[in-house]
Structure 1
């Protein structure tokens, strides 16, 4: 799988790469709007049978815009299973589960205290499930709670 290399809005470069590379391409983590996503699909040479889209819902104007992007992708023959949100945070993990996406990029030890998984999350064979706690996962992170509590004091 190929990731990165060119500028995010250089759709022609992406199309040339896709034309010459038979493996999977994963991209889109630096695109932030429905229009950016549409341009990638229209002009970037992305192939719905093998490539992966990594739009980050938190940076892409939230869940509403991400849902619009999902609708556009479906209209262009893309399966939601080809979407693996970038970000590594709890928001994307919950969206990936709710929308039955292909997964979620995660960095368990990075971006603390907000990054990673809830304290009671179980990682097994490189998979993590959602906890039973309501919310999007930040609520189950004791160190993040400590930061919020100190800010409120």
Structure 2
């Protein structure tokens, strides 16, 4: 959050046109991302100016759940972590979230298979 605040204070960013792309996973997860959004509110930035970087299920779910401006995604990169749940195609630049609880790992067959193999389940 401190780095994000320094960007807002000193980088000359414009809240009416600049996009903020903090990576949710590399920004210490959902709790710290929420702190960033709270700080942005203090500086009158809309959460719609936030489009998380990362291209993974966590960022996609955070963007949808918090009503952010979108999510940067690159579905064919970094398998099995990148991309979307099985059977969910990109249509007109949008993808639907799976109707399951959690982040959606279980709906990515290659990812859940890997996670189960390393966990022993």
Q: Note if 1:125 corresponds to 2:101.
A: no
State which of 45, 50, 70 in structure 1 corresponds to 2:37. Answer: 70
1:88 aligned counterpart, secondary structure:
coil
Distance 2:4 2:56 in 1: 21
TM-score of the two chains, using structure 2 as the length reference: 0.94
Unpaired segments of 5 or more residues in structure 2?
Answer: none
Unpaired segments of 5 or more residues in structure 1?
Answer: 1-33
Q: Note if 1:55 corresponds to 2:8.
A: no
Task: Tell me which structure has the larger Cα radius of gyration.
Answer: 1
Please list the CA deviations of residues 6-52 of structure 1 after superposition, one character each: whole Å capped at 9, or x if unmatched: xxxxxxxxxxxxxxxxxxxxxxxxxxxx0000000000000000000
Distance 1:122 1:96 in 2: 18
Q: Note if 1:150 corresponds to 2:117.
A: yes
Q: 8 Å contact 1:120–1:131 — kept in the other structure?
A: no
Larger % of strand: which? 1
Please list the CA deviations of residues 58-77 of structure 1 after superposition, one character each: whole Å capped at 9, or x if unmatched: 10011111001001101101
Distance 2:116 2:67 in 1: 34
CA RMSD of aligned residues (A): 1.1
TM-score of the two chains, using structure 1 as the length reference: 0.75
